[in-house]
Amino acid sequence: MSFIPNKIFNPTGDDSVQSRTIIKGNTTGLFNLNNTKYTRAKSMYTVMIWNFRVPEKVSGLNEDSIQYKQELTDGEKRAYDGILSFLIFLDSIQTVNLPNFADYITAPEVQLLMSIQAYQEAIHSQSYATILESIVDANKRDEIYYFRRENSILLERNTYIGKIYEDFIENPNDENFFRGLIGNFLLEGLYFYNGFAFFDTLADHQKMKATDRMISYIRRDELTHVTMFTNILREIKKEFPAMWNEKLIYDMFTIAVEQEIKRTEHILGDNVIGINKNTTEKYTKRLANNRLWLLGLDPLYPEVTESPYQHLERLQDTNGEKTNFFESTVINYSQSNGMKWSREF
């Protein structure tokens, strides 16, 4: 079944709370945010707005620049550059693609969250640019930006997610939309986190701590995005059960986990203390199990139950927020009255 994007002007539409649905509603084009069906979206809006920050204000990047040049091993530098290249691609593709999905969301309160997310993804791109400008020599920056295109393993990884998005743009039907949402969920909930773990591990060894602070801001945003897409998918399961395809979910998770393990091992190798093939595999599979749990599904890897990276649990974000990296739950947001994420809107 084909999708029809929202009309900008539709006088005959009906987006009353009684008629409103997460997708396929008859929108009016009016952004009525006083009458909402998905009331928890208001709480998410508050948290996402409070998460605003300016990447140029992160201090300590000059010290990171000295460490990068004088203290990091060649293997750590290669990992630093390669992970930045992949993260830059992920946030870039999200910034560009999110409006394509938002055009088909018919609840204005949820459209609002997607608009904020697109803005946050753009801030992430500026964050990476600030890191590169502060730490990496100018003649090396383009090499990092385009490493993900020239490296065959990174190119394979990027092609997979890019094609999922392109398929929906070219043929916006039920199957491609649902597949695109799962791709988005995997990107936000799985693809970033081995990279984040690398920077956290460096910081735990007193290296590149300012970079890790910047990454902690980005991770904080990504966890809200995981929650938002969890909620969207759960509402689709409730309102449009015919679109829900568990086999597709498990198939995509299996591919994503295999590719993520392969990519991380290729970039990191055995060059970082505390990270190796075994920990990468356990960490990725543990994350996959958790993300499936968020969707109300059984684990893909039931034998994996423990985190291999205990140090991640003790690291604090820069403003006193402690995040459970596996459960995607905000334990304490000082600026949002201790709100905890719900699994549904």
Note the pLDDT tens digit of each residue in 279-314: 999 999 999 999 999 999 999 999 999 889 887 766
Residue 316, in any domain of the structure: yes
Q: What is the pLDDT of residue 342?
A: 42
Q: What mean pLDDT value characterizes the chain?
A: 87
Residue 48, in any domain of the structure: yes
Residue 310, in any domain of the structure: yes
In DSSP terms, 323 is beta-bridged to 330
Q: What is the pLDDT of residue 73?
A: 93
Residue 23, in any domain of the structure: no
Lowest mean pLDDT among 84-88, 153-157, 232-236: 153-157
Q: What is the pLDDT of residue 142?
A: 87
Task: Indicate which residue of 68, 128, 301, 309 is catalytic.
Answer: 128
What pLDDT, in 10s, does the model give residues 115-157?
999 999 999 999 999 999 999 998 888 888 887 677 777 778 7
Residue 327 above 60 pLDDT?
A: no
Active site residue 145: no
Average pLDDT over residues 109-113: 95
Q: Give the CATH number of the domain where residue 132 resides.
A: 1.10.620.20
Taking the whole predicted model, whether its pTM rises above 0.75 is answered as yes
Number of domains in the chain: 1
Average pLDDT over residues 73-83: 92
- Within 8 A by CB and 6+ apart from 106, the residues are 6, 15, 20, 21, 22, 23, 24, 25, 26, 27
Q: Residue 174 is part of which domain span? A: 40-52+59-330
Residue 337, in any domain of the structure: no
Average pLDDT over residues 89-104: 92
Q: What is the pLDDT of residue 172?
A: 93
Q: What is the pLDDT of residue 56?
A: 87
Out of 151-155, 214-218, 320-324, give the one with best mean pLDDT: 214-218
Say which residue the tokens 């709370």 belong to: 17
Average pLDDT over residues 186-192: 93
Residue 284, in any domain of the structure: yes
What pLDDT, in 10s, does the model give residues 170-180?
999 999 999 99
Helix extents (H) in the chain: 40-50, 61-70, 74-102, 108-135, 138-150, 152-170, 174-186, 193-204, 209-239, 246-268, 277-294, 310-314
Return the percentage of the chain with pLDDT > 70, whole number.
90
Q: Which residue has the higher pLDDT, 337 or 129?
A: 129
Q: Report in angstroms the alpha-carbon separations of 211 from 217, 223, 273.
A: 10, 18, 18
Nearest Cα residue to 177 out of 245, 109, 227, 111? 245
Q: What is the pLDDT of residue 311?
A: 78
Residue 210, in any domain of the structure: yes
Q: What is the pLDDT of residue 150?
A: 73
Residue 17, in any domain of the structure: no
